[in-house]
Chains A and B, each alone.
Chain A
Amino acid sequence: MEWGLLVASLATVVVILAVLYRPLGDYMAWVFTTARDVAVERGLYRLIGVDPRSEQTWQAYLRSVLIFSFVGVVFLYLIQRTQQFLPYSLGLPPVPEGLAFNTAISFVTNTNWQGYSPELTMSYTTQFAGLAVQNFVSAATGIAVAVALVRGFAYRRSGTIGNFWVDLTRATFRILLPLSIVAAIILLAGGVIQNFAGFTTVDTIAGGSQVLPGGPVASQEAIKEIGTNGGGFFNANASHPFENPTAWTSILQVVLLLMIPFSLPRTFGRIVGDNRQGYAILAAMGVLALISFVALGAAEFAGRGTAPELAGSPMEGKEQRFGLVQSILYATATTLTSTGSVNSMHDSYTALGGMMPMINMMLGEIAPGGVGAGLYGMLIIAVIAVFIAGLLVGRTPEYLGKKIGPREIKLASLYILVMPILLLGGVALSFAIPGVRDDMEKTSIWNPGLHGLSEVVYAFASASNNNGSAFAGLTANTPWLNAALGVAMLLGRFLPIALTIALAGSLAAQDKVPVTAGTLPTHRPLFIGLIIGTAVLVTALVFFPVLTLGPLAEGLM
């Protein structure tokens, strides 16, 4: 019965995504290759003084990304610190410094880790003009970086990789905004609220009284999923009935958050002029996602571990309204992308089940990953797979006609180093520094032993991969965690971006090697298998020892 439901839910999502793959992917490819600007964009370019026809070198592109994001962090920090003076303050005080710092980084890095209860901390203005704006532009930044890398593959002997300001503008106004408007309207129809009503006190049937929060939820909900942001309007995120009222909105939200990441391979194939390459990347993403989904399903249906045994059934912490399957589907989708919005508490999953969202993130969020970030992450893995495969067939490795030489491998290798070091280093430091450890044990960790360790590992996996979901059971609003997770988010976002853009520059400068019978085809099942193998071996496997100490030891108990 449960398996049947699982397959049915999955099939629904897959069919919708399959229908969207070509039109959405082709549309995005057009957006980033067309020479025409619309009036609004032209006005905007004049305003910021950008010539939309002039392309940037990779250094200039990177500089633009960093400046834009830095300004974003500063602006977001200031708006939180001054929210009491701004309209719709709801009477809330300024957000504390550490938390404001952490949140500013969190939203600019597309992580949307929330170390606070939004409805009790953020005013409408902060949510609307601060956080929601970053929901758009941080997602657009990710797409822009991915497109820059794709151009690196497509361009020949070019010193430039596109114009960040144009990519950012187009991603925002031509992709994210229209999709969000449509999605918001559908969500409204599904019962998601959209008002500026503040808190309403109502009398319940039982005779008590309850304070109901209101707010512009639907508009934020749409971009939260579409931009794989994940920062909810309410603390309970998508398990809050005002955010996610019905079973079908739950499935819709899964579709929304998977839609762009799963269509971007098409954009990639389109721009490099070989749709089969897009299908290959899509297949690698799809297989990894499917394995993860089935594994989580199996773990949950088997129902072992501390929490379910205490609760008597694996339903504790799950989405009670829609059943276990919707929780599994949502959890897999949200951690495979960099969304991090939840409709169930991953902390409450069976030990082995709770390990799956962790592994999803530890893979580097590449199946399909965050908007843009997933594609460039997967392409980096493909570059490494191509390198090994190229040696295996006796040719200097090449991917899409671009030689993968020392410089490319250096950038790709550094890329795959960043996340494991941030994750493992963060967790290790949390326990290695005596004062910090004390604070972790006394304040942050609610559950002792293995499960507590899993909570910390999860937090750092989430931060260094810019996921933003929490395992729950961990108080992250402490000086150490605010700072450490903030740094992990910052470096976990911008180091890979810098390396990706540098790689794009290095690839764009190359000529294309013509395809011969000696060229390794990169669209066949064999190569797709190799990408998957590489992803598992060089990323997830690194975390085997840590997982053994956390969820594995707990789950095998």
Chain B
Amino acid sequence: MTMSTLTSPPMTEPPTTPTGARPPARRGISWAQVRAALPGAFRKLTPKAQWRNPVMFLVWVGAALTTVLAIAEPFLGGPATSGGSAVPASFTIVIAVWLWLTVLFANLAESIAEGRGKAQAETLRKTRTSTSAHRVTDYREADDAAAQGAATVEVSSADLKLGDVVVVTAGELIPGDGDIIWGIASVDESAVTGESAPVVRESGGDRSAVTGGTRVLSDRIVVRITSKPGETFVDRMIALVEGAARQKTPNEIALNILLAALSIVFVAVALTLNPIASYAAEPASITVLVALLVCLIPTTIGALLSAIGIAGMDRLVQRNVLAMSGRAVEAAGDVTTLLLDKTGTITHGDRRASEFIEMIGVERAELVRSAALSSLADPTPEGTSIVDLAKERGESFDQTTPGEFVPFTAQTRMSGLDLPDGTQIRKGAGSAVAAWLSEGGRRISSSEEAEMEQQTERIAQSGGTPLVVAVKDASGAGRVLGVVHLKDVVKEGLVERFAELRAMGIRTVMITGDNPLTAAAIAKEAGVDDFLAEATPEQKLAYIRTEQEGGNLVAMTGDGTNDAPALAQADVGVAMNTGTSAAKEAGNMVDLDSDPTKLIDIVAIGKQLLITRGALTTFSIANDIAKYFAIIPAIFAGVFPQLAVLNIMGLHSPASAVLSAIIFNALVIVALVPLSLRGVKYRPVGASQILGRNLLVFGLGGIVVPFIGIWLIDLVVRLIPGF
């Protein structure tokens, strides 16, 4: 767990706001993308590529069958009539062409979706080019942890095995994923995260993990390799963004089963139609039956299903999140409990000054000025916030530091300023300041100490951190000026976001190492539903288990090794990229920006993925009504002219009706590609409202749109001679 306190040096703070060096999510599709996707779309025209998708495989079979028929018909004198009505000679070939186009459009959608990840994979692949590594042959951890005297051999990074120890010095690429076992270094991880600012990595603790392909900028480190060749983080990333590692998620499998079942029913309809028709009417031609089948099976969703899945993963990648499995993305949509670390997620992670409280007999102005002066050169967020607050309170003071800044150290637990005239200003925890004042046998008065304690106690009770400011003149006589109230400031807009989450049916739980009192105060301010105070990793794990036993799905973020069990237990565990390899291994997602707030976005993306699938399925099934009204009267119009009553779209001829339906069926796939890549817009409102809206748009829309579409296409098709 990352806890930002006064005692932690600012260098190791995780970046709390993503600086997005990566381009923002692209919207729409450019021609260049389509051109790039075309070769792939044609390559996928093989039956082997279609086999995995039963709906499109049926279309493929239909296309192949009609093509054979189209070739054979001129020689066999194929059926000039179908169901008793005449069809033009070009009918079969035109249908065959449009069926191939249907398959091609589906392939194109998938290829475009895949293409989006390709560029990113290329960049990543460059980092994977093999580098040479200095492998330590006889690493002795006990007496030569720095491997100064150990022998090293030059090996290719591709030959590194799990458990190998390597030495990496400034300017070199880290040859593989591993943990630093000795040393500290600043590392440029921009190749993986897109974040240009270097990060500090050191042995021991939660920042020991390094990624292969990143560059050491300073110092020398000893790294133990934790991944097998070909299974490094970058390798997995490449597979993920390219869509190669995409496995079908449970909901996708379930949807595929339902679509397959619907397809089988319609195959039964098409196969039985002619025997039945042969009794009372004229049989329809095979081409017309294939057209009927293709129109009835849910081709729209069948064609776009895989593109939707890839695009969903891609949306995560665009936000710099790597999901180790599609299952995790889907689970994110189902999350009912969100565990959020207080620090960095709910609060800014650094305490800010919110109030100056002077001691009795001290001028407020003096306290404010002293506090501000001593903070001018203080780079910590706490220091900056004191200066800001002082300005806010209208205190005027010299903007340049008049003396020498005394930085915070672990020994003194104070920072401050030494003025040229010998005056010393110090700010820090009460006990440290009291000890400083008592240096050299002097004692601060008991009343002063009592007052200070009373003030610090009050601030601590309210969940804040008291920072005592004291001054000592050249003679060494000192006194306490007052206390600065440092407060965890809840990030802006979080209260609203938590309210949104509540509307979505998600409970938010704040996890903090603070005492229950402090935790309760912040929890109330942030508007979370529950909190876990003084949380230990074990308690966190136990909390997740209890939630899961109640049937809840839990999502959490974490970065430390001690978070690993909880990350593994959670249904969605997002590890911070700055975290340890253990945490990254345990979680099922990695956030490259190390932004814990992103969990909320991940939930939205998970939901969006499901909604998009559901929307297009509904649309696809609802389309059948209009297609029935186009094709059914057309099939038997020759024998039963009375069926013209059902031709409510007023389609020109049986041939044009069938062709128009097929063309609509193909074009609607193209029209919906952008939507399937972008995803249906998700609004954080209750389930009923979402259902109502989506049913209206995609259910009712799915019924109405094809009536209009087929009618419009027929207006054009009827111009073709013979139709």
- B648 cross-chain contacts in A, Cβ below 8 A: none
Given that A389-B691, A406-B250, A516-B505 are known contacts, is A394 also in contact with B272, CB under 8 Å in the complex?
Answer: no
Task: Select one of A393, A408, A414, A512 contacting B611, CB under 8 A.
Answer: A393
A421–B269 CA distance with the chains assembled, in angstroms: 8
- B275 cross-chain contacts in A, Cβ below 8 A: 427-429, 431-432
Question: Is the CB–CB distance between B273 and A413 below 8 Å?
Answer: no
Interface-located stretch among A146-154, A166-174, A541-549:
A541-549
Question: Which of under 10, 10 to 19, 20 to 34, or 35 or more describes the interface residues of A?
Answer: 35 or more
Residue of A nearest to B292 (CB): A545
A514 within 8 A of B: yes
Question: Is the CB–CB distance between B268 and A424 below 8 Å?
Answer: yes
Q: How far is the CB of B109 from chain A (nearest CB, A)?
A: 19
A517 within 8 A of B: yes
Interface-located stretch among A47-55, A464-472, A530-538:
A530-538
Residue of A nearest to B699 (CB): A533
Which has the most chain B C-beta neighbours within 10 Å: A384, A404, A533?
Answer: A533
- A546 cross-chain contacts in B, Cβ below 8 A: 269, 272-273, 276
Question: Is the CB–CB distance between A413 and B257 below 8 Å?
Answer: yes
Question: Is the CB–CB distance between B682 and A394 below 8 Å?
Answer: yes
Task: Select one of B264, B503, B505 contacting A417, CB under 8 A.
Answer: B264
Chain A contacts with B in 478-531, Cβ cutoff 8 A: 511-514, 516-521, 524, 526-527, 530
Residue of B nearest to A409 (CB): B254
A23 within 8 A of B: no
- A432 cross-chain contacts in B, Cβ below 8 A: 275, 278
Task: Select one of A395, A519, A533, A549 contacting B281, CB under 8 A.
Answer: A549
B642 within 8 A of A: yes
Question: Is the CB–CB distance between B551 and A513 below 8 Å?
Answer: yes
Chain B 681-700, CB-CB to A under 8 Å as 1, else 0, gives: 01000111011101100110
- A406 cross-chain contacts in B, Cβ below 8 A: 250, 253-254, 257
A552 within 8 A of B: yes
Which has the most chain B C-beta neighbours within 10 Å: A391, A432, A546?
Answer: A391
Task: Select one of B254, B273, B551 contacting A387, CB under 8 A.
Answer: B254
Chain B 538-573, CB-CB to A under 8 Å as 1, else 0, gives: 000000000000111000000000000000000000
Residue of A nearest to B552 (CB): A514
Q: How far is the CB of B626 from chain A (nearest CB, A)?
A: 12
Interface-located stretch among A88-96, A120-128, A449-457:
A449-457
Question: Is the CB–CB distance between B687 and A520 below 8 Å?
Answer: yes
Task: Select one of A384, A387, A395, A541 contacting B624, CB under 8 A.
Answer: A541
- A449 cross-chain contacts in B, Cβ below 8 A: 280
Chain A 373-397, CB-CB to B under 8 Å as 1, else 0, gives: 0000000000010011111111111
Given that A425-B272, A553-B643 are known contacts, is A526 also in contact with B688, CB under 8 Å in the complex?
Answer: yes
A552–B271 CA distance with the chains assembled, in angstroms: 20
A557–B636 CA distance with the chains assembled, in angstroms: 13
Task: Select one of B276, B506, B507, B609 contacting A427, CB under 8 A.
Answer: B276
A401 within 8 A of B: yes
Question: Is the CB–CB distance between A413 and B687 below 8 Å?
Answer: no
A140–B217 CA distance with the chains assembled, in angstroms: 79
Q: How far is the CB of A299 from chain B (nearest CB, A)?
A: 15
- B646 cross-chain contacts in A, Cβ below 8 A: 548, 552, 556
B315 within 8 A of A: no
Question: Is the CB–CB distance between A395 and B607 below 8 Å?
Answer: yes
Question: Is the CB–CB distance between A391 and B279 below 8 Å?
Answer: no
B464 within 8 A of A: no
B502 within 8 A of A: yes
A410 within 8 A of B: yes
Task: Select one of A387, A388, A394, A424 contacting B333, CB under 8 A.
Answer: A394
Given that A420-B265, A548-B632 are known contacts, is A553 also in contact with B640, CB under 8 Å in the complex?
Answer: yes
Chain B contacts with A in 249-263, Cβ cutoff 8 A: 250-251, 253-255, 257-258, 260-262
Q: How far is the CB of B154 from chain A (nearest CB, A)?
A: 51
- B624 cross-chain contacts in A, Cβ below 8 A: 537, 541
Question: Is the CB–CB distance between B694 and A393 below 8 Å?
Answer: yes
Task: Select one of B552, B614, B622 contacting A537, CB under 8 A.
Answer: B622
A178 within 8 A of B: no
A215 within 8 A of B: no
Given that A396-B333, A546-B276 are known contacts, is A516 also in contact with B506, CB under 8 Å in the complex?
Answer: yes
Question: Is the CB–CB distance between B642 and A556 below 8 Å?
Answer: yes
Question: Is the CB–CB distance between B504 and A521 below 8 Å?
Answer: no
Residue of B nearest to A394 (CB): B607
Chain A contacts with B in 272-325, Cβ cutoff 8 A: none
Question: Is the CB–CB distance between B551 and A413 below 8 Å?
Answer: no
Q: How far is the CB of A273 from chain B (nearest CB, A)?
A: 15
Question: Is the CB–CB distance between A392 and B611 below 8 Å?
Answer: yes
Report A's interface with B, CB cutoff 8 A. Answer: 384, 387-397, 401, 404-406, 408-410, 413-414, 416-417, 420-421, 424-425, 427-429, 431-432, 437, 449-450, 452-453, 456-457, 511-514, 516-521, 524, 526-527, 530, 533, 537-538, 541-542, 544-546, 548-550, 552-553, 556-557
Query: Can you offer 22 A-B residue contacts whose CB atoms are under 8 A?
Result: A388-B618, A391-B255, A396-B251, A409-B255, A417-B265, A420-B269, A424-B276, A428-B271, A428-B272, A437-B279, A514-B550, A514-B552, A517-B686, A518-B505, A542-B265, A545-B269, A545-B628, A545-B635, A548-B636, A549-B276, A549-B281, A553-B281
Given contacts A392-B611, A421-B265, 15 further A-B contacts (CB under 8 A): A388-B614, A396-B250, A396-B330, A397-B251, A417-B265, A427-B276, A431-B276, A457-B276, A512-B551, A513-B336, A517-B504, A520-B688, A538-B621, A553-B636, A556-B640
User: Closest 6 A-B residue pairs measured CB to CB?
Assistant: A518-B505, A391-B614, A394-B607, A516-B505, A413-B261, A428-B272
Report B's interface with A, CB cutoff 8 A. Answer: 250-251, 253-255, 257-258, 260-262, 264-266, 268-269, 271-273, 275-281, 292, 330, 333-334, 336, 502-507, 550-552, 606-611, 613-615, 617-618, 621-622, 624-625, 628, 632-633, 635-636, 640, 642-643, 645-646, 682, 686-688, 690-692, 694-695, 698-699
